[in-house]
Amino acid sequence: MREIEGGITAPRGFEAAGVHCGIKKRDPDLALIYSSHPAVACGMFTSNKVKAAPIRVSLRKLRNGQAQAIVINSGNANTCTGRQGIKDAEEMARLTARHLGISENEVLVASTGVIGKPLPLSKIAEGIGKAGQSLSAQGGGEAARAILTTDTTTKEISVETGIAGRGKKKVKLGGMCKGAGMISPNLATMLCFVTTDACISPDALQEAIHSATGKSFNQISVDGDMSTNDTLLVLANGLAGNKRIKTWHKKKKRKVKDENFDIFSQALDFVLIHLAKLIVTDGEGATKLIEVKVNGAPFPQDARRIARAIANSTLVKTALAGASPNWGRVMSALGAAHTKINPDKVDIYFDNLAVVRRGEGAGAKEETLREVLKKKEIMITVDLNQGLSSTTFWGCDLTEKYVRINKSYL
């Protein structure tokens, strides 16, 4: 597998566009992704009980497992907008389908921005027409810009990997996402879109997405707040011409794992983990990327709870913002994670520097600790020494800028 140029339009048959339609004052605010051929479509959405109108519409459309386009607006979440919000999301799909000459059942919808305001549908309708005329195989960058809200930079990646079999095929995956605040997924405000030219069954694609999300977007946090609009959509149009990827296939009357499923899944894991880390790095007001590794947990859920508790701790995050060598905050956070552990067995490291041994201070010098914590990327490793389970979670520090951004966000 190798990284390539192109982002969301790197795979064969995909075009994209990003335009300004007037939801925002000046920046691009409407994006369109289009596949020249109908694609297998799968998705994952927020588990927040309050779900945006476009999520409800896209969930219904995904029942047939196929789509050919995704239309996305930023600046307005179309959440808590009642029946009119549903009608507006459906109208976005209908207008997009009409401009592209495809079925409206094959157009998925996503939105991000302020909650509780009606969509300015006349502006969006104009933007859809403009985006439809601007579609290009080089349009991925503008599409990535058009989905941003408080993000400071676009978030894109594309990769190519070889699929085994007769006449080895090259399969490409491209992705873009947005997210900087309101980030604490169970599948954060996070939107992510992935395209691939791989030929893959719907069941295999959904399994790969579910697994990759568990390793990526469900392992990050900026502020501990879960969005109403979290959306991950993947389109696979099959234009690579590879033998159809399945989770299993028959071999001499036995079911064996499809080796190409593992190859595809590894590429998807790489794409989503890369994008997830970009979200955390660009967290609102963040200055540092924090990687929390928890090893030696009794069970996987214990490792996840402890890692999430440390990454979400306001006291840990503010200490890291100020390069304060207060390792006691990490101990306090892991002890509050509702797990059955023995704190007297815990070791903690900041990067490779031991700060806790068997639940007590390891005698690290404050000056040395401060130098470690001044870095832009910091690893906190917690060895529980109480089992075989482990996990990795990504977070960021918390600065005054986060408060400034969010106290006036409208």
Distance of CA 81 to the CA centre of its chain: 25
Q: What letter does residue 135 receive in the DSSP assignment?
A: -
With 90 as the cut, is the pLDDT of residue 328 above it?
yes
> pLDDT-based confidence at 226, cuts 50/70/90?
confident
How much of the chain exceeds pLDDT 70, in percent?
95
Distance CA 317, CA 113 (A): 25
The pLDDT of residue 251: 67
3 state DSSP class of 49: coil
- Mean of all residue pLDDT scores within the chain: 93
Strand duo 30-45 + 66-76: pairing: antiparallel
pLDDT tens digit sequence for 367-376: 999 999 999 9
Element containing residue 250 per DSSP (H, E):
strand 248-251
Over residues 110-119, the pLDDT tens digits come to 999 999 999 9
Residue 241 has pLDDT above 70, yes or no: yes
**35 vs 230: which has the higher pLDDT:** 35
Q: Are 203 and 247 in contact (CB under 8 A)?
A: yes
Q: State the catalytic residues.
A: 189
How confident is the model at residue 188, as a pLDDT? 47
Distance CA 69, CA 103 (A): 10
DSSP designation for 318: H
Q: Note the Cα 191 to chain centre separation in Å.
A: 7
pLDDT above 60 (res 185): no
pTM score, whole prediction: 0.91
Identify the CA nearest to 32 among candidates 80, 102, 83, 85: 102
- Tell me the per-residue pLDDT of 247-279, one tens digit each, with 9 for 90 and over: 877 666 677 788 999 999 999 999 999 999 999
pLDDT value for 229: 86
% of the chain surpassing 90 pLDDT? 84
Model confidence pLDDT, tens digit, residues 267-323: 999 999 999 999 999 888 899 999 999 999 999 999 999 999 999 999 999 999 999
- Local structure of residue 242 (DSSP, 8 states): P
**Residue 162: what pLDDT?**
95
**β-bridge mates for residue 251, sequence order:** 254
Contact call for residues 176 and 193 (beta carbons, < 8 A): yes
Q: pLDDT tens digit string along 127-169?
A: 999 999 999 999 999 999 999 998 999 999 999 999 987 668 9
Residues 234-243, mean pLDDT to the nearest whole number? 96
Q: Please choose, from the candidates 56, 58, 70, the residue with its C-alpha nearest in 3D space to the C-alpha of residue 18.
A: 70
Spatial distance between the Cα atoms of 23 and 131, rounded to a whole number of angstroms = 14
User: For residue 408, what pLDDT is reported?
Assistant: 73
Is 102 exposed, middle or buried (CB count within 10 Å of its CB: 0-12, 13-18, 19+)?
middle
Q: Which of 334, 338, 363 is nearest to 346 (CA)?
A: 334
Q: What is the mean pLDDT of residues 389-408?
A: 90
Mean pLDDT, rounded, for 242-249:
88
- Rounded distance between C-alpha atoms, residue 320 and residue 399, angstroms: 9
* 126: region left, alpha or beta (phi > 0 left; psi from -120 to 50 alpha): alpha
Check residue 385 and give its pLDDT.
98
Domains assigned to the chain? 2-281 (3.60.70.12), 289-407 (3.10.20.340)
Residues 259, 204: contact at Cβ < 8 Å? no
Q: What is the mean pLDDT of residues 43-62?
A: 93
Residue 407 has a pLDDT of 81
pLDDT of residue 287: 94
